[in-house]
Amino acid sequence: MSVNDNDFIRFSRQILLPEVGEAGQVKLHLAKVVIIGVGGLGTLVAEYLAAAGIGKITLVDHDRVELSNLPRQLLFSEDDINQNKAQVTGLKLANRDKSCELLAITDKFSVDNGEDILAGCDLVFDCTDDFNTRQAINLACLNHAIPLISASVANFSGQLLVVDQVSSPDSGCYACLFPSELIVSQSCQTVGILGPMVGVMASMQALNGMNFLLGVNGPLGKLLRFDGREMKWREAQLNRDHNCPSCGQTSAQSQANL
């Protein structure tokens, strides 16, 4: 497969990068990704990936657009209120990036439907703001050996975690960082947030996703935290907890099934 003349012009600026080139652009076109949670983070990640030439994007969200979403979910307008977020995002991006295949799933991600949703995908983006859903996404990705890029924002703080225990067996997963028995009540409905903070973390999520698909080294096994007040990034090593109920039980089996 090669890049056609139209795509060569359209994606010329990123093709100029030695890390991309024509071969890298083909990789992006062949990539299949799943974005779970199509709100502030998810819409921006989807926009960046579709614009970059990703071949297929599956959008998963059961939620509907609300007026309070608009300051940080820039793809939506008042005309979209009460409509499903995944469907609205899919329609808008399909009109803008016609070469990208977009699939909208209006069900909430769970352990019951996770296997079907993730089937055949190369990379998963967790853009949700629900702790239990994050745990379900983490476990599903571990069980099927699918790399995961998880991001979240609260107040002036953002965090990013890239989980790929096939490439980095000793690195930790989301449950190593936040055990499933931990009680977490924070969400965008209960915590203040500024729109640009979401933009920072969504950009980092999309950038790390593209780097991964292109084979560019990324922060595997590291937790990145951004302080929006001090404008500082902090990095911490996250090692795998062999007693973790998620990756401690599934990592060896997942790799054996590859």
- 117: CB partners within 8 A, 6+ apart: 34, 36, 58, 60, 105, 109
The answer to whether 166 and 255 are in contact (CB under 8 A) is yes
How would you write the pLDDT of the chain (258 residues) with one tens digit per residue? 789 999 999 999 999 999 999 999 999 999 999 999 999 999 999 999 999 999 999 999 999 999 999 999 999 999 999 999 999 999 999 999 889 999 999 999 999 999 999 999 999 999 999 999 999 999 999 999 999 999 999 999 999 999 999 999 999 999 999 997 766 555 556 789 999 999 999 999 999 999 999 999 888 889 999 999 999 999 999 999 999 999 985 444 444 444
Question: Which residue in the list 100, 173, 188, 244 is annotated as catalytic?
Answer: 188
Q: Distance (Å, rounded) from C-alpha 4 to C-alpha 7?
A: 5
Sheet containing strand 157-163, strands side by side: 101-105, 56-60, 32-36, 123-126, 148-154, 157-163, 222-227, 232-237
Quickly count: other Cβ atoms within 10 Å of residue 185's Cβ.
7
Burial tier of 22 (Cβ tally within 10 Å: 0-12, 13-18, 19+): middle
Quickly count: other Cβ atoms within 10 Å of residue 81's Cβ.
14
Domains in the chain, ordered, with CATH? Answer: 31-256 (3.40.50.720)
Verify whether residue 188 is a known catalytic residue. Answer: yes
Residues recorded for the chain: 258
Predicted TM-score (pTM) of this structure: 0.93
